[in-house]
Amino acid sequence: MDQKVRVRFAPSPTGGLHLGGVRTALYNYLFAKQQGGDFILRIEDTDRNRYVSGAEEYIADCLQWCGIVPDEGPQQGGPYGPYRQSERKSLYEQYARQLIEAGVAYYAFDTPEELDTMRQKWKSDDNPTPQYDRHTRTHMRNSLTLPASEVQALLDQGAPHVVRFLMPEEEVRFTDLIRGEVKFNTALLDDKVLLKADGMPTYHLAVVVDDHLMQITHIFRGEEWLSSTPLHLLLWQRLGWGAELPQWAHLPLIMKPDGKGKLSKRDGERLGFPVFAMNWTDPRTGESTAGFREMGFLPEAFINMLALLGWNDGSEQEVFSLSELVEKFSISRVHKAGAKFNFEKAKWFNHAHIKQSPADHLLPYMRQQLTEHRAEASDERLREIINLIKDRCSLLPELWENSAFIFEPPATYDIESVAKKWDAEKKAFFQALPGQLETVTPFESEPLEEAFKAFAASKGLKPGGLMLPFRVMLVGGKFGPPVFSIATLLGKAETANRIRTALPLFG
């Protein structure tokens, strides 16, 4: 029987969740659900200097909003917990010790000053940033250079030290599910710290130990981690887990709109669009960063947009539900090259999802906006309004913007748009129109339009020349859905009242 697919999304709680991070979570989720597997959230909080209070809860809320809910994690629990690395601290030291005993890791007692001295001593034009590696390790204060008795004495004294991996000189190969065969010459790599002086593991040790203990089968992560994979692969092997290696896939970057570099928070601020899933306020600085949710994106549109930033199913289809994405996703169709972010395209996805959403799905968003604007309406009336205007909305706040005229009479009127063609005959027509509206039964769009055109014909007027003044009287300008639909929603009395209120201003 094949091993059950298990994937993980393992963010660090250091701030807001970038849309690239959400896409990583999404691809993990889609693959797991398609394969009947498990999607795990693991919080990698071993770097306590960068830990930000509230960030973990924010990450969980983002995933919940997106609909990509973990099967296991800090909130859900599960059989492989705990799911915060800071709560797994006691696990890592034994594996660091195992590596030392196997001769593939070592204690290093170098002080910060000694490390600085090494960097200055070995610095050259060919090597501007010297590393702790095969060239320098034999000149440093570590268990490779010190007598065993001195090493033991330092350990007994509790001397500050780290554990470093003894990087071999060999070629490491692995098959990336997106990039194919990847080769690295490890002689060019440094001896990474595995266990820090405070006893906390670095990312490199913790990620390998946790992925093994949590039985992770596939690792989908950003391409910035590609260069770390040789070390991780070597750690899997040196810890005796070579027969259980996961499969790796390194996802392409999400690029700036011009394609020149990775999309950053600053790009969003500069160009006026969000790059975080939800609003985030840094508790340390008070700095706030806008999110897609608060700007007015439906979660299903947001993840649809993200899925297609680096993947397609080979067809012309662009609008997908989450269940369709689960059905059609394939890691083999994820592109190698970075995907340029296009905010206008993102809004196109949102418009497409708003347009196809049933009124009941949009009702809570509409209700929220009415509350914010202190307006009231029944659910039945709101459904009618939503069905009339949703095709015009790219962002959820536009539900209100496109319907505010129903709840609030115009404060101003675009008289100039009709002034040139306004005359006494049209004025007389609109003076008499409220009375004509009384005869329209039922007061609905089609009967209203027929009555309007018939009355215009009886006055020798072309209906087309009357439509714009009618619209301006009802909503204040040249906007909105079909004018007879507007009148239907306003109702007979309000339509007549708005005509009488506006008419004196037309001259």
pLDDT digits (tens, 9 = 90+) for 377-415: 999 999 999 999 999 999 999 999 999 999 999 999 999
Whether residues 326 and 378 share a domain: the answer is no
Cα 278 from Cα 506, distance rounded (Å): 46
Whether residues 460 and 507 share a domain: the answer is yes
Residue type, 353: H
Whether residues 324 and 296 share a domain: the answer is yes
Q: Is 224 inside any structural domain?
A: no
Q: What is the CATH number of the domain that holds 447?
A: 1.10.10.350
Q: What is the CATH number of the domain that holds 141?
A: 3.90.800.10
Cα 248 from Cα 181, distance rounded (Å): 11
**Alpha carbon distance, N-terminus to C-terminus of the chain:** 84
Q: How many domains does the chain have?
A: 4
* E-strand stretches of 235-334: 247-251, 254-255, 280-281, 288-289
Whether residues 349 and 386 share a domain: the answer is no
Q: Is 211 inside any structural domain?
A: no
Q: What is the CATH number of the domain that holds 42?
A: 3.40.50.620
Whether residues 61 and 112 share a domain: the answer is no
Instruction: Indicate the residue among 323, 341, 356 that finishes a domain.
Output: 356
Q: Is 201 inside any structural domain?
A: no
The arithmetic mean of pLDDT across residues 106-110, rounded, is: 98
Q: Is 83 inside any structural domain?
A: no
Q: Is 485 inside any structural domain?
A: yes
Cα 108 from Cα 115, distance rounded (Å): 11
pLDDT tens for 450-469 read: 999 999 999 999 999 999 99
Strands 280-281 and 288-289 come out as antiparallel
Q: Is 449 inside any structural domain?
A: yes
pLDDT reading at 132 higher than 80 = yes
Supply the mean pLDDT for the chain. Answer: 95
- Confidence band of 47 (pLDDT split at 50, 70, 90): confident
Whether residues 262 and 330 share a domain: the answer is yes
Name the catalytic one among 265, 345, 427, 453.
265
pLDDT reading at 229 higher than 50 = yes
Cα 75 from Cα 358, distance rounded (Å): 32
312: Cβ–Cβ under 8 A, 6 or more apart, which residues?
Answer: 333
Percent share of the chain, pLDDT over 90 = 94
Q: 10 Å Cβ neighbour count for 259?
A: 11
Cα 203 from Cα 52, distance rounded (Å): 17
Whether residues 283 and 362 share a domain: the answer is no
pLDDT tens for 487-498 read: 999 999 999 999
The question of whether 196 is a catalytic residue gets the answer no
Instruction: Indicate the residue among 340, 356, 372 that finishes a domain.
Output: 356
Comparing 46-55, 440-449, 450-459, 487-496, the range with the smallest average pLDDT is: 46-55
| pLDDT value at residue 127 | 87
Q: Is 188 inside any structural domain?
A: yes
488: Cβ–Cβ under 8 A, 6 or more apart, which residues?
Answer: 443, 444, 445, 448
Whether residues 418 and 458 share a domain: the answer is yes
Query: Is the Cβ–Cβ distance between 234 and 172 less than 8 Å?
Result: yes
Domain that holds residue 507: 409-507
Query: Is the Cβ–Cβ distance between 163 and 107 less than 8 Å?
Result: yes
Whether residues 1 and 15 share a domain: the answer is yes
Q: Is 47 inside any structural domain?
A: yes
Whether residues 336 and 349 share a domain: the answer is yes
| pLDDT value at residue 1 | 44
pLDDT tens for 357-373 read: 999 999 999 999 999 99
Instruction: Indicate the residue among 379, 408, 437 that finishes a domain.
Output: 408
Whether residues 397 and 464 share a domain: the answer is no
